[in-house]
A and B are shown apart, each in its own frame.
Chain A
Amino acid sequence: MMKRLKLANLYLIGVFIILYAPILYLAFYSFNSADNMTNFDSFTWDWYKEVFQDSRLLIIVLNTLVIALLSAAISTIIGVLGAIGIQAVRKKRIETSLLTLNSILIVSPDVIIGASFLIFFTMLGIKLGFTSVLLSHIAFSVPIVVILVLPKLQEMSPTLVDAARDLGASRLDVLTKVILPYITPGIFAGFFTALTYSLDDFAVTFFVTGNGFTTLSVEIYSLARQGISMKINALSTVIFLFTFLLVIGYYFLNQRSAMKLSRPEVK
């Protein structure tokens, strides 16, 4: 028993090493005074200083964040309403065809979606920039939110809604007091998935950026042609630490609210 546990632990440790090694390797060299990743010269903060002094890079980071937050929030709202709509469809055939259409958007290659958006926006005369990037990010996030919210809706017993209606709840009450609280975990999952999708999307974003507006993925990609500068290492390390702290913060908040909930029961 003891031995098997150890083996399992070793396996787990191995997996985590593989997952984290590239990031740690990258972070390690962000302190390198030489400008390459082949050998470590000496310790330096220079790359971090450069990142924070480069206002262009800072603007790009903020662009990326604001696009991710807004597109994730908006696509979550649209996606949740869409999922509820699909769920409400009575005819099975129509429901499955709607779902299939939704899935096609998820599996179709980003490059194609990006190119289509480029042609579409220029045809409509929308100038490439903030609006075009935001719209396309919302567009490719909505199907993902739908897919993540739908199982929660299907899990919900229809008798819940019936009971609420019997007790005199209006349609709006049913939505806000019964359905939405029930599917909240799905909504959160959808929101965070949309957020990460938006943060690291390159292919679609690449086509629709323009007029001075660009995001981190596109910028790093064109920088990479000249070999990755250690500045990028420093920036990646900062962003990694930032997300790390966010996740830890989220975890502790959850713990606290869970404790609050469980306290009366203990008493």
Chain B
Amino acid sequence: MKKLIQLFVAIFLISGIILFALNRLNATQGYSGKNVLNIYNWGDYIDPELIDQFEKESGIKVVYQTFDSNEAMLTKIEQGGTTYDIAVPSDYAIAKMIEEKLVLPIDQKKVPNLKNIDPRFLDLSFDPGNRYSIPYFWGTVGIVYNQKLIDGKEPTSWKDLWDPALKNQILLADGAREVMGMSLNSLGYSLNETDETKLQEAKANLMELTPNVKAIVGDEIKLLLANEEAGIGVVWSGDANEIMSENENLNYVIPKEGSNVWFDNIVIPKTAKNVKGAHEFINFMLDPKNAAKNADYVGYSTPNEAALKLLDRDVREDKRFYPDKQVTDTLEVYENLGKEMLAHYNELFLEFKMHKK
């Protein structure tokens, strides 16, 4: 009995000490004050120095939290119980949030730095007129290939993936829209196609690809490609940039038939308590210097035209991640096809996944 009492007294004492330490730490960080900004962003998706800088300049304390998928973030915001002032969803999630009235409109007068954004990336289908969202980073879907493993057969188009010489060499990212989009694009169709015959054609086309497909994988695709487990991967450009820095045999190409362009935009969720601070933060992130610093740290493509000029020359002129207008004109944003169509896409993708070699 004595031992038990000792144990529990010790535990509550230690907890008390930790709670006290936490309290002090939070206080020195200013988290307990009134003027706080809650940010909900992807993991490791901002330069931490920028947060410090923003806190100094504005006097607002930032509470920073992270999520790992759009769906996870949506659930948290939909349910309420949180007070996020800033969130950074991707294009299709934004469309969904607007539809379900989960975001507040952005007062563009309060974000004068919006003028720095390249007009190519404004007024897109998921948020016409950018009433609710401001571009943060963008990228494409494309092909990563390993020059060493597929000697000489450097792909330039989706069609090249169907080359019989690439038997068992391709890794695909596990996304219905990505894989179906790839097949639709290779046939010259839009990746937002809803015509049934064209979709069936795309599926049949995918079935023919099966001998070349080594695996359909999730996030581990980065590791597998960097470790040279396969010669080709269909990935997002942000991932591509990351693995290319780890393995110099790798290269990235945006297929010439066109592909998907994706966006991660900043929004103000309806749960926001500090709307004024949120606008200040958005404007701060749109400042050319800050945006350039952030792009440097994160490594994704910035939509900020003025910031681009401040980046290193070999980054700025890298056509793989900052393609010219002719290329971006061939790219499409995923449109919200509606629940039914999306289910159909998933079903077709599933049939492809189950197809035997």
A contact set with B: CB distance below 8 Å: 36, 38, 54-56, 58-59, 62-63, 65-66, 69-70, 72-73, 77, 118-119, 121-122, 126-128, 132, 176-177, 180-181, 184, 187-188, 191, 206-207, 209-212, 214, 219, 221-227, 229
Contacts and interface: CB of A to CB of B under 8 A. Distances in A.
B242 A184 contact: no
A122 B79 contact: yes
Interface in B27-50: 28-29, 31, 36, 38, 42-45, 48
Interface stretch (B18-26, B141-149, B310-318): B18-26
Contacts of A54: 48
B109 interface: no
12 contacts: A36-B246, A38-B247, A55-B29, A56-B29, A58-B25, A77-B8, A118-B79, A177-B1, A188-B7, A207-B75, A210-B65, A226-B45
B334 to A, nearest CB: 20
A211 B226 contact: no
A212 B44 contact: no
A57 B219 CA distance: 24
Contact of B21 (A62, A188, A210, A225): A62
Interface of B: 1, 3-4, 7-8, 11-12, 14-15, 18-19, 21-22, 25-26, 28-29, 31, 36, 38, 42-45, 48, 63-68, 72, 75-76, 79-83, 219, 222-223, 226-227, 242, 246-247
Given A118-B75, A206-B72, A180 B4 contact: yes
A2 B72 CA distance: 58
A66 B76 contact: no
Contacts of A77: 8
A256 to B, nearest CB: 13
Contacts of B15: 66, 69-70, 73
A207 B72 CA distance: 8
B31 to A, nearest CB: 6
B331 to A, nearest CB: 23
A181 B31 CA distance: 44
Contacts of B42: 222, 225-226
A223 B11 contact: no
B227 A38 contact: yes
A181 B246 contact: no
A59 B26 contact: yes
B79 A119 contact: yes
Contact of A122 (B11, B18, B80, B219): B80
